């Protein structure tokens, strides 16, 4: 089964996470495919809007842990970091449809989408600290701006899930619908966007992001360096060992 589906209809380019049997967990190869899809959609002027979606029961469980440990992102040019940079700087509108769990990067990448529709079963979690790591995708910058400092601390320090209605309240998503309607609702938005002039869309998005674009790149680089450092320390090693062994991690003394 192809883990990343790509389909163009009129001026809409839809990317579907399609590894449902593994909860759409993301591998290094999938990040490369996502990166290539973004690069294609960026330069193809027949594409005016990008749609990113998963399944009505799962968006993504985040990184595939086995693949992540086999290919740890220790360099700035690691596929996951290249994908995040490409999404952050993508010039055309990005519409996301999210149902079920959106874990780790599955939640943080949404900060770089322009319109987000969530199923009422969506559960967003950013459990980086729980894994002995720090956030990525400039979420340490963008979440406090969006949610306020204290709610960002709740999301990033506690790492506990917040549900669709809470996400709507703080502006993390635009709209909540029943899961069976989420992907179609995203397509309706995309249809409205594709009818608009491309350069006006691009220039308006650039203006909207002009205050944050440089800061996002700088924060991603800083986060990536700290992430790589912590990945080699004892807390992360204990967290991943506990995950694989299906036990509680013991961070005493770490």
- 180: nearest Cα among 123, 117, 125: 117
Q: To the nearest 10°, the Cα dihedral for 184, 86, 34, 66?
A: -120
Where b means 16+ CB within 10 Å and e means fewer, 54-82 reads bbbebbbbbbbeebbbebbbeeeebbbbb
Q: Is 29 exposed, middle or buried (0-12, 13-18, 19+ CB in 10 A)?
A: middle
The secondary structure of 66-98 as a DSSP string is: HHHHHS---STTSHHHHHHHHHHT--S-EEEEE
Q: What is the mean pLDDT of the chain?
A: 97
Give the model's pLDDT for residue 253.
86
Q: Where are the domains of the chain?
A: 1-178+198-254
98-145 pLDDT, tens digit per residue, is 999 999 999 999 999 999 999 999 999 999 999 999 999 999 999 999
Where b means 16+ CB within 10 Å and e means fewer, 132-150 reads bbbbbbbbbbbbbeebeee
In the predicted structure, residue 254 carries a pLDDT above the cut 90: no
Give the model's pLDDT for residue 242.
96
Please give the structure tokens belonging to residue 46: 């027949």
- Pairing state of beta strands 123-125 and 4-9? unpaired
- Under 8 Å CB-to-CB from 23, ≥6 apart: which residues? 58, 60, 61, 101
User: In the sheet that 162-163 helps form, which strands lie side by side, from edge to edge?
Assistant: 101-103, 123-125, 162-163
- 79: nearest Cα among 35, 26, 39: 35
In the predicted structure, residue 42 carries a pLDDT above the cut 90: yes
- 198: nearest Cα among 5, 26, 10: 10
Give the model's pLDDT for residue 1.
80
Q: Which residues pair with 97 in a beta bridge?
A: 53, 117
Going by CATH, does the domain composed of 1-178+198-254 fall within 3.90.226.10? yes
d(CA 139, CA 226): 14
In the predicted structure, residue 28 carries a pLDDT above the cut 90: yes
Helix residue ranges, H only, the chain? 28-43, 65-70, 79-88, 105-108, 139-147, 149-153, 164-169, 179-194, 198-209, 213-231, 234-245
Helix or strand holding residue 14 (H, E): strand 12-17
Query: pLDDT over 70 for what percent of the chain?
Result: 100
Give the model's pLDDT for residue 55.
97
191-200 pLDDT, tens digit per residue, is 999 999 999 9
């Amino acid at each position: 089964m192809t883990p990343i589906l790509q389909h163009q209809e009129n001026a809409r380019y839809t990317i579907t996470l399609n590894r449902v049997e593994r909860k759409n967990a993301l591998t290094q190869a999938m990040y490369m495919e996502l990166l290539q899809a973004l690069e294609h959609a960026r330069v193809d002027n027949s594409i005016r809007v990008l749609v990113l979606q998963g399944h009505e029961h799962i968006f993504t469980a985040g990184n595939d842990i086995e693949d992540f440990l086999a290919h740890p992102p220790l360099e700035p040019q690691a596929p996951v970091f290249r994908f995040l940079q490409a999404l952050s700087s993508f010039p055309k509108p990005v519409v996301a449809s999210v149902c079920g769990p959106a874990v780790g990067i599955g939640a943080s990448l949404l900060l770089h989408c322009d319109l987000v529709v969530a199923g009422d079963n969506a559960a967003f979690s950013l459990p980086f600290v729980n894994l002995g790591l720090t956030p990525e995708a400039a979420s340490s910058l963008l979440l406090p701006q969006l949610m306020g400092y204290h709610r960002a601390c709740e999301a990033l320090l506690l790492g506990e899930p917040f549900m669709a209605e809470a996400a709507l309240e703080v502006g993390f998503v635009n709209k909540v619908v029943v899961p069976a309607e989420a992907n179609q609702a995203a397509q309706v938005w995309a249809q409205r966007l594709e009818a608009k002039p491309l350069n006006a869309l691009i220039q308006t998005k650039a203006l909207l992001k002009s205050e944050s674009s440089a800061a996002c790149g700088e924060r991603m680089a800083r986060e990536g360096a700290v992430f790589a450092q912590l990945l080699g320390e004892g807390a992360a090693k204990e967290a991943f060992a506990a995950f694989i062994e299906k036990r509680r991690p013991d961070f005493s003394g770490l």
